[in-house]
């Protein structure tokens, strides 16, 4: 069972009309857009990531999600985030989707960012500002 | 100039990572998804619209948007909504996108819903619950 | 009636699972993503637009669409494109969505690009390569 | 190394303008929409799946993807598909994304569908038409 206490940071997500697919639930793909949004909001606001012109860029090299229960627009959601593994140039995020007010997750996933130099695409050490923010989620 | 006082209902929108396109701003297409979300949230929560099995369905027959200033993830936004024309089976929504805390709109648009019978696709009179909710936005 | 002969360039569009919304048809918003795709494919392949680092960027300042008949995944579509007005720094595109093999359009729309300097965001004259490509669609 | 010969069915995918994110590549999330599209196109066209009113619905219970090399709009792609495990009510799809004309995959993923009764959401045996189509991809 995946519960809120397992996570360190929570990102509110307001579902949108077209998060639902033809079956009337949030499409499985859309959960990953919630994950991207939670992680990047945190990195920008807490770690100083500059997505427009910063020297480093986070590339996703793997991702996965398990779905336990469906959610649907217009549900209000929260994405829980913690850091699993923190390496010199990469980080594994662990995430879960909760309905507002609920303790048990509807889905749980993870993805790995490798930080690379924007110009050369070569892996680089995670800059100090980002690393500090990530360490607070371990 | 399009300002908040021109609108009756406000829907918060949290931008998402992939609302931005390669140019670093929210893509022009995405504004329409904000409009869809504002209108349908209002119709569901205030007018009793049942999007999963209700007898009537709102079909969009025209839409338009003018863009005044760019917005970008991770901006917090609000969509203002009012009703322009309210006919027997159709309604024109007028909408605008505001950054949280700003008075002037970054974009203003509109779209027309024709309500049809879910089974026959033929236009029907707007049901009383929906009509009441729409009249409050005129 | 909007027909194929009204357009100069045709962009194939393969619908995707999540183009459909909960009502089982391609969502009204998604048509604009088809328009963006048709125009930018043409500008890149025929006009030499460099979306990653080129000196000019096309900003959308207005857009609109009228919807005549629904389409749905897994339909094969084509987007017809012509140029309406061609100014010194702006262009109005006129577009329509056709099902493969059909003469009459399911939707017709338009949008205006203003070309700006990537660094300053100030309008600039449309570069020669792009202008030549656009003139061929008038 | 993941190559074309590992897959049984190929679904063409035309990238779209907004498949790219702010970093100029197809966003990691979008690959899953390609997977959804490949599988559902095959199930509809080869297995008779009726997504609008059929008795059974495929729910995704887990998904994953590994990313080897980036792709970007306007690339032409193909998604390769094979069936990994085929159970009584569930199936694991294995997929990969190829650039048109290339032998090595840019990404490889998988997801599991559990087929449920549309009305009760309870797992059901995969109907014969679908099962036959799935067996051809083992």
Task: List the beta bridge partners of residue C14.
Answer: C76
Per DSSP, the three-state class of B9 is strand
pLDDT digits (tens, 9 = 90+) for B48-73: 999 999 999 999 999 999 999 999 99
Average pLDDT value for residue range D77-95:
98
**pLDDT grade for A14, boundaries at 50, 70 and 90:** very high
CA end-to-end distance (rounded Å), chain C: 20
Residue-averaged pLDDT of chain A:
97
Interface contact D22, partner C, CB < 8 A = no
When scoring D12, D15, D16 by the number of chain C Cβ atoms within 10 A, the one with the most, hence best to mutate, is D16
Q: Which helix (H) or strand (E) holds C66?
A: strand C56-67
- Between chain A and chain C, how many beta carbons pairs sit less than 8 Å apart? 21
- Window 30-59 of D: residues touching C by CB (8 A cutoff) are 33-34, 36-37, 40-41, 44-45, 51-52
Interface contact flag, C23 B57, Cβ < 8 Å: yes
**Is CATH 3.10.129.10 the right assignment for the domain spanning D4-135?**
yes
Q: What is the pLDDT of residue C60?
A: 98
pLDDT digits (tens, 9 = 90+) for A20-30: 999 999 999 99
Domain assignments of chain D as residue spans, ordered by start:
4-135
pLDDT digits (tens, 9 = 90+) for A74-93: 999 999 999 999 999 999 99
Interface contact D29, partner A, CB < 8 A = yes
Q: What is the pLDDT of residue D39?
A: 98
E-only strand ranges, chain D: 9-14, 56-67, 76-86, 90-99, 107-117
Measured between CA atoms, the residue of chain D closest to residue C73 is D41
**pLDDT grade for B35, boundaries at 50, 70 and 90:** very high
Please say whether the beta carbons of B57 and C21 come within 8 A: no
When scoring C36, C53, C67 by the number of chain B Cβ atoms within 10 A, the one with the most, hence best to mutate, is C67
Cis peptide before B37 (omega within 30 of 0): no
Residue-averaged pLDDT of chain B:
97
Looking at this predicted complex, what is its ipTM?
Answer: 0.97
Q: Say what percent of chain A tops pLDDT 90.
A: 99
When scoring B40, B49, B67 by the number of chain C Cβ atoms within 10 A, the one with the most, hence best to mutate, is B67
**pLDDT grade for D96, boundaries at 50, 70 and 90:** very high
Q: What is the pLDDT of residue A93?
A: 98
Interface contact flag, D24 C52, Cβ < 8 Å: yes
Interface contact flag, D20 B18, Cβ < 8 Å: no
Interface contact flag, A16 B24, Cβ < 8 Å: no
Interface contact D29, partner C, CB < 8 A = no
Interface contact flag, C67 B52, Cβ < 8 Å: no
Instruction: Name which of D13, D17, D44 is nearest C40 (Cβ-Cβ).
Output: D17
Q: What is the pLDDT of residue B15?
A: 98
| Cβ-proximal residues to D94 (8 Å cutoff; 6+ apart), any chain | D7, D81, D82, D83, D84, D108, D109, D110
Average pLDDT value for residue range A85-105:
98
């Amino acid at each position: 069972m995946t519960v809120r206490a397992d996570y360190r940071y929570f990102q509110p997500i307001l579902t949108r009309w077209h998060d639902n697919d033809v079956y009337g639930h949030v499409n499985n793909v859309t959960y990953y857009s919630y994950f991207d949004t939670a992680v990047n909001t945190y990195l920008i606001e807490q770690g100083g990531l500059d997505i427009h012109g910063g020297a480093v860029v986070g590339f996703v090299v793997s991702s996965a999600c398990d779905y336990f229960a469906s959610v649907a627009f217009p549900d209000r959601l929260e994405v829980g985030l913690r850091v699993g593994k923190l390496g010199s140039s990469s980080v594994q995020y662990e995430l879960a989707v909760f309905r507002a007010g609920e303790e048990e997750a509807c889905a749980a996933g993870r993805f790995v960012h490798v930080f690379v130099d924007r110009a050369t695409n070569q892996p680089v050490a995670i800059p100090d500002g980002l690393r500090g923010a990530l360490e607070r989620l371990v």
